Amino acid sequence: MTAPAEASTAREGAQTVRVELGERSYDILVGRGLIASAGDEIARLLSGGRVAVITDDNVAKAQLPALKASLDAAGIGHVTFAVKPGEPSKRFSTFEQLCDQVLEARLERGDAIVALGGGVVGDLAGFVAASVRRGMRFIQMPTSLLAQVDSSVGGKTGINSRHGKNLIGAFYQPGLVIADTAALDTLSPREFRAGYAEVAKYGLIDDADFFAWLEANHREIFAGGAARDEAVAASCRAKARVVADDEFEAGNRALLNLGHTFGHALESAVDYDGARLVHGEGVAIGMRLAHAFSARLGLCPQEDVARVEAHLKTVGLPTHMKDIPGQLPPAATLLDIIAQDKKVTRGALTFILTRGIGRSFVEKGVDPQEVLSFLTEELVEQI
């Protein structure tokens, strides 16, 4: 739990992915053991400031001692605020409390918020960083696979409203992302798999070679070898490319939602009950559904649907609605949830469809009746 002797040589062996956003450009560092040497990287960014580490109680136990030691060694003053683990912390009252705590600690604009944790912590801490004093410095230290390959990159921050997830927030880019892949050793297999769904997504969006590489290398990625670091870095590069092209989600950034429209609807249908379905599992099912729906529309070859399903199954991810334990609502209800989703633009249904592995595209004119028929068939199939 203390900083290793080689802490000061942090970037050696780490991969650096640059997110090109003009004045808001930043680096993502990917490698094993980076938390223990984070102080030096943060010191380089801050030149004298202090940090507030926002984390959750579980991550605090596993990772906070190493981070604190590293901040101390770098001479960076710090305070820590730990929230309860889990999605319910992404709410107004927690947001308000954290803002007040950061102000109470008298942190200034040039000081930084450090998000140490998974997606919940990153989204919440990022919105705090965006909002306190109208924007403080912000550093992401994602500790889950999902956060390392997805939520920590790209600047989406936010909290949930009673009307849905992530409906209140800001586009706010971090100044630095430090992804310590050793932190993933402590994840449960289920949580690791859920993050892996987003890794596979980058191949399915526009990189068939990467998907094929994943088919060949998934064992080493799950075991924690060099392929894991490579998969995380490649995912960050893929996301960085999309984000650089469309920071505020006006166009092609929507491709990142491949599998998410169906996935979100399923998460909502089970009331975000993580015992039944976690986000990455919803995405896995959603990606299979997006390919199957595209095949039904005559866009995607059936063999690609089969290949997607086979790979997701191989790593242990669910691919069909019937894989979700318990009852699901009828197709019409699922369609209504989809229509309420924030990706809807003025009544028309927008989906990410695909012409095959690595050939996804944004389709804004999807007929709701087609979706209803498709979902009905998929649900019937499972009885």
Catalytic residues: 134, 156, 198, 239, 249, 253, 257, 260, 264, 279
Asked if 161 is part of the footprint of a second copy (rule: CB under 8 A), the reply reads: yes
Give the integer Cα–Cα distance in Å for 102 and 113.
Answer: 9
Give residue for tokens 């990410």: 352
Q: How far is the CB of 110 from a second copy (least distance, A)?
A: 7
Neighbours of 22 (CB within 10 A): 7
Q: How far is the CB of 101 from a second copy (least distance, A)?
A: 10
Q: Which residues pair with 140 in a beta bridge?
A: 115, 177
| Residue 6 vs 96, nearer CB to a second copy | 96
| Residue of 92, 185, 226, 332 that binds a second copy (CB under 8 A) | 92
Q: How far is the CB of 103 from a second copy (least distance, A)?
A: 4
Residue 1, classified by CB atoms within 10 Å of its CB into exposed (0-12), middle (13-18) or buried (19+), is exposed
Give the integer Cα–Cα distance in Å for 36 and 353.
Answer: 42
Binding mask 134-153 for a second copy (x = CB under 8 A): xx------------------
Choose among 264, 376, 276: nearest CA to 323: 276
| Residue of 15, 131, 268, 319 that binds a second copy (CB under 8 A) | 131
CA distances from 299 to 201, 291, 292, 361 (A): 18, 9, 10, 11
| Residue of 142, 169, 282, 358 that binds a second copy (CB under 8 A) | 169
Asked if 241 is part of the footprint of a second copy (rule: CB under 8 A), the reply reads: no
Asked if 344 is part of the footprint of a second copy (rule: CB under 8 A), the reply reads: yes
Give the integer Cα–Cα distance in Å for 90 and 274.
Answer: 15
Give the integer Cα–Cα distance in Å for 228 and 234.
Answer: 10
Asked if 342 is part of the footprint of a second copy (rule: CB under 8 A), the reply reads: yes
Binding region for a second copy (CB under 8 A) out of 157-165, 177-185, 207-215, 265-273: 157-165
- DSSP assignment, residue 348? B
Give the integer Cα–Cα distance in Å for 87 and 107.
Answer: 26
Residue 159 corresponds to which tokens in the numbers above?
């909290």
Q: How far is the CB of 261 from a second copy (least distance, A)?
A: 15
| Binding-site annotation: residue ranges for NAD(+) | 119-123, 143-144, 156, 165
The contact set with a second copy (CB under 8 A) reads: 48-49, 92, 96, 99-100, 103-104, 106, 108-110, 130-135, 156-158, 161-164, 166-171, 248-249, 340, 342, 344-346
